[in-house]
Structure 1
């Protein structure tokens, strides 16, 4: 690992890939994948660098708060060829999202545009408007997106307070900012599914806990999972390559389990949840509609828009991804779950 700043990067050479949020779940995997392919990496992170980088002279760390220190970016990015923007706030506070996701993205966009750097934006499945979909539909890059208010880019906090899911609204605004301001020609947007992997085997699309009992909202729909190693491989591939056609890609695992299959595999590898009851999606939806008059006082999955966004049985084809990047995933879903568990021990 080399020291802080552009001077240290100058010693490494060209084809440098920068990664924001480099010490986060996705960023860490992107750094590892870029190094596996032989690229020097500029790891941009707000907190301490990862111990695993200390012995790697191909990783240069720059500690930076993108939301407040964006004026440092142009100098840092001077030798960089492409940037993977993985930094984002994962919570639902409109104020923090506006600062740590949107202001940070504005700084990244400005720096990439000025330096003509290819940008790979890590977006999310959450940008799709599930109110416009029906059970059984396929979610593709052409599916409708969450609507933007006319002044959403000028008043992001107000917009984030008005949408059903502030995190989803922030990812939608990130994409709108990129469409308005852009990075270099040949930049990408990756709409990933629910990202999982070592240290994050579970996900938020299964159901909910009721004390020690887990309630699965079951259906024959696919879980839109995206293993973190798969996301990193696609992101680094995009950093290396200009799009030949569509520059927006959905990123899902090739083998997408149902919730019942996920539950079985997770129990086999991790031993939990021990107690589970499965309620069919249709039955849960009927209950939610009965409770609509008191929906504002109930948790998220008792509100129909949130239920539809997280649990509606849908299909998630990888057609565009495989067209842009032919190949296969590392393993079946069950194999990936076993590998994930093994990596944690």
Structure 2
């Protein structure tokens, strides 16, 4: 395959998608932006294709839109835990895209670190691209299960594939994440134990996705997409409090105490928030290390500033 000059991006109207379109244009690439409904004006060099990927009728339109493209970044997906929405907007959408995709075309899938079976790990362990994945039938929630199934669909295609697994994606307009801890009104419980919050700034994610689209994975390659500056949850909560004025009150809670509380509440688990249920708590909050060595060695890149500076910039740039 020669030089990449034109790429297709699904989910182009979403948080990651918009940033990825902007990054691709900044590198001089032509972009086909697939959106479900009319979205932002992307400017010159972007062809907008409106299509509902959950509808099989989208396949002919996608096939036409792919003409002249050398790579696809698939960012369209449902972000919540609604099983019906996941089945349609993640799995059906991916299946329809794959039906339209020529066999040799490079595919960059936006997956997630949620696929890793952290239940096998202990506090302080390191998560890398070689960490075992959850079996699909034991995923802690519908979102993780959908990403596992989505990866399996893309692997089965047997074409050139990047499995890009971002951490907690953040940036302007989205500086808080479910991995941070439990909040109720002005109050926030923050984990005080050592362990890295696997943040992934949206501009860094976009840069990694476009770099992957421009690079040959030489088969199938997985990469964790995580920032260089990976704070503890306590540091992040205090930094967010300083910059944004919220949460008003941050209370410390050690990992051992949090886990003991969740275990004591196990009989009530079906009616409790995810972070008070042991499997989800271990998947989202257990203190772990998240190096991005493989990402940097493979695709380069790097943070543009320390966390506190990027957080301040993101707050000021919020739409």
TM-score range, shorter chain: over 0.9
- The aligned runs of 1:321-336 (5 Å cut-off) are 321-336=295-310
Residue 188 of structure 1 corresponds to 162
* d(CA) in 2 for partners of 1:235, 1:60: 19
For structure 1, the 5+ residue unaligned runs are 1-13, 150-161
SS of structure 1 residue aligned to 2:188? strand
TM-score by length of 1: 0.87
- The aligned runs of 1:64-143 (5 Å cut-off) are 64-68=51-55, 69-114=58-103, 116-143=104-131
* d(CA) in 2 for partners of 1:202, 1:257: 14
How far apart are 1:245 and its partner, in Å?
7.9
Seen in structure 2, the aligned counterparts of structure 1 residues 264 and 245 have a Cα distance that, compared at 3 Å, is farther
* d(CA) in 1 for partners of 2:78, 2:9: 15
SS of structure 2 residue aligned to 1:189? strand
Residue 248 of structure 1 corresponds to 222
* d(CA) in 2 for partners of 1:239, 1:191: 14
SS of structure 1 residue aligned to 2:100? helix
Seen in structure 2, the aligned counterparts of structure 1 residues 237 and 168 have a Cα distance that, compared at 3 Å, is same
Cα deviation digits, residues 97-140 of structure 1 (max 9, x gap): 111110110111222234x3211000001001111111111100
The equivalent position to 2:14 in structure 1, one of 5, 13, 24, is 24
Residue 156 of structure 1 corresponds to none
Residues 193 and 251 in structure 1, CA contact (< 8 A), matched pair in contact too = yes
* d(CA) in 1 for partners of 2:262, 2:39: 45
For the pair 1:175 / 2:162, whether they are aligned, the reply is no
RMSD: 1.8
* d(CA) in 1 for partners of 2:270, 2:136: 23
For structure 2, the 5+ residue unaligned runs are none
Residue 5 of structure 1 corresponds to none
Residue 159 of structure 1 corresponds to none
How far apart are 1:328 and its partner, in Å?
2.5
* d(CA) in 2 for partners of 1:24, 1:126: 19
How many residue pairs align between the two structures? 315
SS of structure 2 residue aligned to 1:205? helix
* d(CA) in 2 for partners of 1:191, 1:299: 25
SS of structure 2 residue aligned to 1:344? coil
* d(CA) in 1 for partners of 2:83, 2:218: 36
- The aligned runs of 1:1-345 (5 Å cut-off) are 15-51=5-41, 53=42, 56-68=43-55, 69-114=58-103, 116-149=104-137, 163-182=139-158, 184-185=159-160, 187-243=161-217, 247-344=221-318
How far apart are 1:164 and its partner, in Å?
2.5
Seen in structure 2, the aligned counterparts of structure 1 residues 271 and 86 have a Cα distance that, compared at 3 Å, is same
Residues 70 and 104 in structure 1, CA contact (< 8 A), matched pair in contact too = no
Residues 112 and 118 in structure 1, CA contact (< 8 A), matched pair in contact too = no
* d(CA) in 2 for partners of 1:253, 1:71: 38
* d(CA) in 2 for partners of 1:252, 1:168: 17
Residue 11 of structure 1 corresponds to none
Cα deviation digits, residues 37-95 of structure 1 (max 9, x gap): 000110000011203x2xx2201100001111223211111111111000001121111
